[in-house]
Amino acid sequence: MGKVLFALALVLAFLSACGDKPKKPGCKGDKDCKNGQVCDANKCVECKTDAQCPKGKKCSANACVVKPQCTKDDQCPLGQVCQAGSCKPCAADGECGPGGSCEAGMCKRPKACAKDEECADDEDCLEGLCRKAGQGSNIDAGCTLQTVYFGFDDSSIQASERDRLDGNFSCMSKNKTQAIMLFGHTDTSGTEEYNIALSERRAQSVADYLARLGGDPAKMQVVPKGETEPTGNGDDKDRRVEFKWR
């Protein structure tokens, strides 16, 4: 019996000595990484800074991703609009900002101003833009809620769309008693069921963004349309969320 107890004690001692040891960090410095990776927080990753990525890419969440072509309309060739990070011709007046109009794929925007004297005889300086009578920023005068666009199979709000949403929130804030409908859309890639779900995620991400700005969720109705209402202007114009007063 004593030998059995002695053998059991040896086994327990061996197991205790060979228990789980603290894991060593994956790396201490860049030299510990291979294939051009760098060390960040004891892990080998693709990048820590934009400078460690190839030309035309930036570092995002330790991975090199393609830089967006633009984040604002004024970074695009004259008359084009920045949508989902790419410069594109316009397809509707609502893509051209307050007081703007789309003509043959080119946005025509009102002149910036500080006073009425800087505008044409039939225009007034309203909110920093030369506009004809009846083009002020209120719902009765046609306050414009701009369409926002998304990347392929994506429901996240891209930097290029934030200015449009900020403008929409400003418009909504001047009409606080008015509710809006958010219509989510997709292109025809994927199944009908998947596209309905994707269009709902897109509309909901817009509603969430506006709510973070201070919008009232109770006055925003999400309506998923899926692929049912194509614009006829290409897949990139179908990946969108449209607004409508109700």
Per-residue model confidence as pLDDT tens digits over 139-168: 444 577 899 999 999 999 999 999 999 999
Q: Are strands 129-132 and 123-126 parallel, antiparallel or unpaired?
A: antiparallel
Q: What is the pLDDT of residue 202?
A: 97
Identify whether residues 53 and 155 lie together within a single domain: no
4/46 Cα distance (integer angstroms): 55
- Residue 114 and residue 35 share a domain: no
Identify the pLDDT of residue 136.
44
Do residues 83 and 124 share a domain? yes
Do 57 and 90 share a domain, yes or no?
Answer: no
Least confident of 1-15, 75-89, 96-110, 123-137: 1-15
Residues 49 and 104 placed together within one structural domain of the fold: no
Residues 32 and 137 reside in one and the same domain: no
* Co-location of 144 and 227 in the same domain: yes
Residue 20 inside a domain? The answer is no
Residue 14 placed within a domain = no
Residue 113 sits in which domain range? Answer: 73-245
Alpha-carbon torsion 170, 171, 172, 176, what sign? positive
235 in the same domain as 203: yes
Q: Is residue 111 part of a domain?
A: yes
**Inside any domain, residue 11:** no
Task: Evaluate if residue 71 carries a pLDDT over 80.
Answer: yes
Q: Which of 67, 92, 115 is the last residue of a domain?
A: 67
Over residues 133-146, the pLDDT tens digits come to: 554 444 444 577 89
Total domains in the chain come to 2
**pTM exceeds cut of 0.75:** no
Q: Are residues 125 and 159 in the same domain?
A: yes
| Domain shared by 79 and 61, yes or no | no
Residue at 218 is within a domain: yes
SS (H, E, C) the chain: CHHHHHHHHHHHHHHHHCCCCCCCCCCCCHHHCCCCCEEECCEEECCCCHHHCCCCEEEECCEEEECCCCCCHHHCCCCCEEECCEEECCCCHHHCCCCCEEECCEEECCCECCCHHHCCCCEEEECCEEEECCCCCCHHHCCCCCCEECCCCCCCCCHHHHHHHHHHHHHHHCCCCCCEEEEECCCCCCCHHHHHHHHHHHHHHHHHHHHHHCCCHHHEEEEECCCCCCCCCCHHHHCEEEEEEC
Instruction: Report the range of poorest mean pLDDT among 69-78, 145-154, 160-169, 194-203.
Output: 69-78
Q: Are strands 220-224 and 180-184 parallel, antiparallel or unpaired?
A: parallel
Same domain? For 156 and 173 the reply is yes
Asked if residue 158 is part of any domain, the answer here is: yes
The pLDDT value given to residue 55: 85
Q: Does a structural domain hold residue 175?
A: yes
> Looking at the structure, do residues 116 and 237 belong to the same domain, yes or no?
yes
